[in-house]
Structure 1
Amino acid sequence: MSKGWSIQTLLSELHDDIQDQLARARKAFGHPGTKGDASEAVWLELLQTYLPARYQAASAHVVDSAGTFSDQMDVVVFDRQYSPFIFKFKGQTVIPAESVYAVFEAKQSINAEQVAYARAKVASVRGLKRTSLPIPHAGGTYPAKPLQYIVGGLLTLESDWKPGLGEPLVKALAVGDADDRLDLGCVAAHGIFSCDDTGCGTLTPMGKPATAFLLELIARLQEKATVPMIDVRAYARWLDVDVPA
């Protein structure tokens, strides 16, 4: 047995690194947009580094086969193993709706305004049309997979409420319905929160929230298995449509 290693230290250091990077981004940059971009980059790097290789994370728009685009999302977690195409153009990424597992907004601080803003952004993805085809196999064909629920959330460094994870946050999260619900989020200085069909009363204050968020997200992705089989021909129909000049 190897001695001198500590899994507790490894997991703790991961959180400490994320919180430190978020704090430095907040202090180092004066422009709100630059601060936001830096915070977004910290969360993306965390997911790009530690999510299993079948998943990728990027800042992106999401598009469906009807040609409808979502709002720009700070963090999109999507399938790369079974997704037939991801568009990249001039630094912009566009992902087909069928490939998306989760979407998050990344902000400096959580408050009622940011919760409402994130809910609207998440809803713009969940409202997109997604296709699902039957899956051929050696013995025949499996039925088309039911469409998976897309996880949505909000990632911040701080909270504008005191206490950071308290009743005001619960009330803000409880507004709305499943179309715009924030299921999972992290306030790196305080803890993580989650919502489900039973409500938004589960708040988890803890010492290492960023690591806890990462592990909980991975667990939820494992429960979802793979994305549905995309109908590529539904997208190919746009090849026959004249592009506006």
Structure 2
Amino acid sequence: MAEWSLPTLLSSLHEDIQYRLRLVRESIHHPGSKGDASEGVWISLLQKYLPQRYQADKAFVVDSKGIFSQQMDVVVFDRQYSPFVFNHEGQIIVPAESVYAVFEAKQSADKQMVEYAQEKVASVRRLHRTSLPIPHAGGVYPPKQLIPIMGGLLTFESDWSPAFGEAFNSSLCSDLGDGQLDIGCVASHGHFYFDRDADQYVFESETKAATAFLFKLISRLQFSGTVPMIDVDAYGEWLTK
């Protein structure tokens, strides 16, 4: 019988992601194509390894008031309880209530990129989300409290030296409101996350960054719970407008 090695399996997962991101960086020179390819690497990772209740894709997010977010490179959204997801000519649009997390995916992290990611994350968090009472065999549960939408940044490299130094931390701390980046990965160096108990960012330098980020994301999704029951009628009102 073949002998399996868990450390080898986990290491190979990261090495695959890092290799694909490096290949994109070195072989594709058109900025738009390079960006699309980088997003595709991260999306494929999440689609392959997140639990089946979650879906990951590039998408716009819309609310029941008809307001749209900016296009997000990676959206992690519900596919178990979300009643509708639009796919219009290849453009995916998901209701705000179904969103668990949104990410900006780029080749490298710098101050401008962090600010850009914060702005895009804020465009999702500012959307209106509905939550209906939940009927059950013994009666009705009150409307579920809205879960916080995670925001993050995914890159291959960091333009800062050191990669996880004070400059990166200062840039992340510039917006701890609607645009806050809760979690992210710099595949060549490690991953980071905001520790709410300590009220500060934690930077983990490691050689298997993509795998560590994936595990941290799954852990945070587990504690997020389930998205609220969406008020479909609030969206249906647009049929008469």
> After the TM superposition, which residues 99-138 of structure 1 pair with which residues of structure 2 at under 5 Å, given as runs?
99-138=98-137
Query: CA contact under 8 A between 2:147 and 2:225: conserved in structure 1?
Result: no
Deviation at 1:200, TM superposition (A): 3.4
1:205 is aligned to: 205
1:41 is aligned to: 40
* Counterpart amino acid of residue 54 in structure 1: R
* Counterpart amino acid of residue 128 in structure 2: K
Aligned pair 1:80/2:91, yes or no?
Answer: no
> After the TM superposition, which residues 11-50 of structure 1 pair with which residues of structure 2 at under 5 Å, given as runs?
11-50=10-49
Deviation at 1:177, TM superposition (A): 2.3
Partner deviation per Cα, 1:115-154 (whole Å, 9 max, x = no partner): 0000000000000000000000000000101111000000
Query: CA contact under 8 A between 1:62 and 1:97: conserved in structure 2?
Result: yes
2:9 is aligned to: 10
For structure 1, which segment, 15-24 or 195-204, has the greater mean C-alpha deviation from structure 2 after superposition?
Answer: 195-204
Find the aligned partners of 1:86 and 1:4 in 2 and give their Cα distance.
43
SS of residue paired to 1:217: helix
Q: What is the Cα-based RMSD across aligned positions, in Å?
A: 0.9
* Counterpart amino acid of residue 123 in structure 1: A
SS of residue paired to 1:170: helix
Deviation at 1:225, TM superposition (A): 1.6
Give structure 1 regions of 4+ aligned residues with deviation exceeding 4 angstroms.
none
Q: Which runs of 5+ in 2 are unaligned?
A: none
> After the TM superposition, which residues 230-241 of structure 1 pair with which residues of structure 2 at under 5 Å, given as runs?
230-241=230-241
Deviation at 1:201, TM superposition (A): 3.1
Deviation at 1:88, TM superposition (A): 0.5
Partner deviation per Cα, 1:91-138 (whole Å, 9 max, x = no partner): 100000000000000000000000000000000000000000000000
TM-score normalized by the length of structure 2:
0.98
SS of residue paired to 1:175: coil
For structure 1, which segment, 189-198 or 61-70, has the greater mean C-alpha deviation from structure 2 after superposition?
Answer: 189-198
2:179 is aligned to: 180
Find the aligned partners of 1:199 and 1:141 in 2 and give their Cα distance.
37
Query: CA contact under 8 A between 2:13 and 2:211: conserved in structure 1?
Result: yes
Find the aligned partners of 1:180 and 1:113 in 2 and give their Cα distance.
14
SS of residue paired to 1:202: strand
Query: CA contact under 8 A between 1:174 and 1:199: conserved in structure 2?
Result: no
Find the aligned partners of 1:67 and 1:228 in 2 and give their Cα distance.
19
Query: CA contact under 8 A between 1:158 and 1:189: conserved in structure 2?
Result: yes
Find the aligned partners of 1:238 and 1:196 in 2 and give their Cα distance.
40
